[in-house]
A and B are shown apart, each in its own frame.
Chain A
């Protein structure tokens, strides 16, 4: 055992609590490809024969009994990285366990093409062609919620529509409202909705399993609204320090993900 410990210390890379699977790495790449990357980032990836994933644990200051884990993944060359968490804890007040089977993205960030403190990362390499083939083949892949989630989504979105209609002076009638929602990702619990008539984006994000009743009891507190008429700027430099805006680039991606890769449903916002 002592010999094994010494050997582990001599390893040229830091140990991870759990090495992300190929699927997690590739799906993280696909999530970034879908929501963040553009031509210039892919061109930088092309310059190498392989795609390098830099991975390290994120030390979390957890509560007693919380077994969650978090990991940082940077895709070399793209100048983008993501923080992912696999939740595993219990909420006493709700008598509810929150437990993920897979890592889920909770933050995306810009970074150097190669991290400066490279020694703190484990380096995982895949042939460039393998990664790009995956991104290309799945670029239009659509994964929609099952009927259980869809039923709850209709109710939750209907509630939001009623709430917003008053502020935007939109008269709701008997006719259904048209909603487009984004495709799901195995590495994210986020869902985006576009309410067509109101030019409104609704972002749903939480750590609850969407197949539980509890997730939908808390749905209201997991949503953020973006009024595309008012909360879009070309650059956040126009509104430094404010957390109320999204860039036109991000709004465009959200529209593409909702309108082209998403699903159209009709919602009757009745009481």
Chain B
């Protein structure tokens, strides 16, 4: 009971520490907090490699959420959902955690009891960003963290509140594509995610926040 109380107290303190002042980030053990952490984890903040601007990083978060959503709701004709996510599901958290700790979203997984979990460096970075964003007048760090939380809240309570940048994409170079993005990659040395993924070029805003977004080759229905 004591252990339970101290755990609860810890959670309260944790939640308070991230929701004070400029920062409105829900605890990591809530669905909305977990989803927001994924969006934050995949997006560069000022000083990090891939940083361009606040508009660019917000577009990155939105596009990542759209990728996850499209893997559930907009599986293109000729494709099976399992080709895109390795699982058949209508639950966004199954998409995020598919494949375990080194699965679809590196570092995000379900633990042995089936609870949503992330490797420690995810929370370390979030804490660090919150510490920077929580000091002084509200700035870019706070704005990005709060935006991630807003996107997550909106998605889980209603729907995505932003427009899909890639919904009308039908041709990349000479390749017919499905429209929408179905994958992204973070590092410079990841220049192809394999399968039938097609790199969305810069001219179609395929490079966001140091990430490259990928659509799919169109298949016969």
Main DSSP-derived SS at the B contact region = loop
**CB-CB contacts below 8 Å: A151-165 with B:** 163
Binary flags per residue of B24-54, CB closer than 8 Å to A gives 1, else 0:
0000000000000000000000111111111
A62 touches B52 (CB 8 A): yes
A108 touches B188 (CB 8 A): yes
Q: A83-B207, A107-B207 are in contact. Are A239 and B125 (CB under 8 A)?
A: no
Is there a chain B Cβ closer than 8 Å to A35's Cβ?
yes
B47's partner among A163, A208, A237, A250 (CB-CB below 8 A) is A208
Q: A93-B132, A242-B103 are in contact. Are A110 and B125 (CB under 8 A)?
A: no
Is there a chain A Cβ closer than 8 Å to B168's Cβ?
no
Is there a chain A Cβ closer than 8 Å to B20's Cβ?
no
CB distance from B79 to the nearest CB of A (A): 11
B48 touches A222 (CB 8 A): yes
B202 touches A244 (CB 8 A): no
Segment of B6-14, B135-143, B148-156, B159-167 in the binding face: B135-143
CB distance from A47 to the nearest CB of B (A): 23
B53 touches A61 (CB 8 A): yes
Residue from the set A61, A72, A87, A116 with the largest chain B CB neighbour count within 10 Å: A61
Binary flags per residue of A195-214, CB closer than 8 Å to B gives 1, else 0:
00000000101111000001
Chain A residue nearest to B95 (CB atoms) is A241
A243 touches B210 (CB 8 A): no
Chain A residue nearest to B132 (CB atoms) is A93
CB distance from B139 to the nearest CB of A (A): 5
Segment of A10-18, A141-149, A228-236 in the binding face: A228-236
Which residues of B are found within 8 Å of A242, using beta-carbon distances? 99, 102-104, 106, 193
Which residues of B are found within 8 Å of A237, using beta-carbon distances? 194-195
A242–B85 Cα gap in the complex (Å)? 8
Question: Size band of the B side of the interface?
Answer: 35 or more
A99–B184 Cα gap in the complex (Å)? 28
A53–B170 Cα gap in the complex (Å)? 30
A231–B48 Cα gap in the complex (Å)? 23
Is there a chain B Cβ closer than 8 Å to A130's Cβ?
no
Is there a chain B Cβ closer than 8 Å to A6's Cβ?
no
Q: A61-B55, A250-B189 are in contact. Are A89 and B195 (CB under 8 A)?
A: no
B49's partner among A112, A207, A225, A240 (CB-CB below 8 A) is A207
A108–B189 Cα gap in the complex (Å)? 6
A110–B193 Cα gap in the complex (Å)? 12
A98's partner among B47, B83, B125, B202 (CB-CB below 8 A) is B47
Q: A98-B47, A107-B212 are in contact. Are A224 and B187 (CB under 8 A)?
A: yes
Is there a chain A Cβ closer than 8 Å to B219's Cβ?
no
Which residues of B are found within 8 Å of A1, using beta-carbon distances? none
B49 touches A106 (CB 8 A): yes
CB distance from A133 to the nearest CB of B (A): 27
7 new A-B contacts at CB < 8 Å, known A107-B212, A241-B86, A245-B102: A63-B53, A93-B136, A110-B191, A225-B121, A236-B190, A242-B106, A242-B193
24 interchain pairs (CB within 8 A)? A62-B53, A63-B54, A72-B202, A89-B46, A93-B139, A98-B46, A189-B49, A190-B49, A205-B187, A218-B47, A221-B125, A221-B129, A222-B49, A235-B194, A236-B193, A240-B183, A241-B183, A242-B106, A243-B105, A243-B183, A244-B99, A244-B103, A244-B107, A250-B189
Q: Which 5 A-B pairs have the closest CB atoms?
A: A240-B195, A236-B194, A237-B194, A244-B106, A244-B102
Binding site for B on A (CB under 8 A): 35-36, 58, 60-63, 66, 68, 72, 83, 87, 89, 91-94, 96, 98, 105-110, 112, 116, 163, 167, 189-190, 203, 205-208, 214, 218, 220-225, 227, 230-231, 235-246, 250
